[in-house]
């Protein structure tokens, strides 16, 4: 049997594992996942998507994979949350007010453990797209006032210029004791998570648990929110359709997401 140089696989979703139609080849994945498990190789989905969306994406596979949701805020094993990083309610309210006061062009979704929250007054196209990613969404009259105080916010998603990410992080952290981290996939959106949270930190937790070294990790990504994950992995692959900055950072290149590039690469190793 051919020696495989990695013991764990980490994959981003949008622009990486999913094609542009936001789906992936389930029979092909079933075939590859079966081979990986036969060789005791762990498969970890590492995504900015919320847990409720990932559970729908991987229905039928949940007992055979591990997941990192909301860009590292939630870690899931055996379909159960084993670790969570959340913003306090006070900081969540302060952050939303800060964004609305200083960046009124940004449309906001607050991703919580129970539901996601967005304004009824948001543009129709934005609400339609967010409904795919946040099928547990609740449209409210007022943000942040209508978010229950019992809610635990794991992430904010902003629809605005990705170039604002560093500015928002720096400005908010100057006056707020509970710091945040802003990241972007390179499109017109920004994800805001608790400071120190990213995909690589989530992966380090799983790797320690599995007794796997970072050098034994193969990771696939296409955007800037995959940066830390690809830097961590011994075998880092940027997608052919990925951000040029990520292509320069990664050691290897995989075929496009629309060509099931992740599965193609894994299958070559497994043949």
> Tokens standing for 265?
């690469």
Q: What pLDDT, on the 0 to 100 scale, is given for residue 187?
A: 66
In the chain, which residues fall in CATH 3.30.1240.10?
A: 89-194
Asked: is 8-84+197-270 a CATH 3.40.50.1000 domain? The reply is yes
Q: What is the pTM of this model?
A: 0.94
Asked: is 89-194 a CATH 3.30.1240.10 domain? The reply is yes
Query: Cα dist. 160→126, 184, 186, 187, 224 in Å?
Result: 11, 10, 11, 9, 16
Q: What pLDDT, on the 0 to 100 scale, is given for residue 184?
A: 86
Cβ–Cβ < 8 Å for 110, 153 = yes
In the chain, which residues fall in CATH 3.40.50.1000?
A: 8-84+197-270
Query: pLDDT truncated to tens, each residue of the chain (271 aa)?
Result: 468 999 999 999 999 999 999 999 999 999 999 999 999 999 999 999 999 999 999 999 999 999 999 999 999 999 999 999 999 999 999 999 999 999 999 999 999 999 999 999 999 999 999 999 999 999 999 999 999 999 999 999 999 998 999 999 999 999 999 999 999 866 678 999 999 999 999 999 999 999 999 999 999 999 999 999 999 999 999 999 999 999 999 999 999 999 999 999 999 999 8
Instruction: Tell me the C-alpha distance between 168 and 166, whole Å.
Output: 6
Query: Cα dist. 222→21, 104, 161, 231, 262 in Å?
Result: 16, 29, 18, 13, 11
């Amino acid at each position: 049997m051919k020696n495989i140089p990695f013991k764990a696989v980490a994959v981003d979703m949008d622009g990486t594992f999913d094609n542009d139609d936001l789906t992936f080849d389930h029979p092909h994945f079933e075939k590859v996942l079966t081979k990986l498990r036969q060789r005791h190789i762990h498969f970890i989905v590492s995504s900015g998507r919320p847990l409720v969306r990932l559970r729908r994406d991987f229905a039928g596979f949940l007992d055979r994979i591990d997941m990192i949701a909301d860009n590292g805020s939630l870690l899931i094993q055996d379909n159960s949350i084993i670790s969570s990083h959340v913003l306090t309610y006070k900081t969540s309210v302060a952050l939303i007010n800060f964004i609305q006061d200083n960046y009124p062009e940004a449309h906001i979704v607050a991703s919580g453990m129970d539901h996601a929250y967005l304004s009824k007054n948001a543009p129709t196209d934005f609400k339609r797209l967010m409904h795919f990613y946040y099928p547990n969404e609740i449209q409210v009259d007022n943000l942040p006032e209508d978010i229950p105080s019992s809610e635990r916010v794991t992430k904010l998603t902003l629809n605005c210029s990705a170039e604002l990410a560093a500015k928002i992080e720096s400005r908010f952290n100057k006056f707020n004791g509970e710091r945040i981290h802003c990241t972007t996939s390179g499109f017109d959106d920004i994800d805001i998570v608790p400071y120190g949270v990213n995909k690589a930190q989530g992966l380090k937790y799983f790797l320690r648990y599995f007794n796997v070294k970072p050098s034994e990790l193969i990771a696939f990504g296409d955007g800037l929110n995959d940066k830390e994950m690809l830097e961590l992995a011994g075998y880092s692959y940027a997608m052919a359709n990925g951000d040029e900055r990520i292509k320069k950072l990664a050691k290897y290149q995989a075929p496009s997401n629309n060509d099931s590039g992740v599965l193609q690469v894994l299958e070559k190793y497994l043949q």
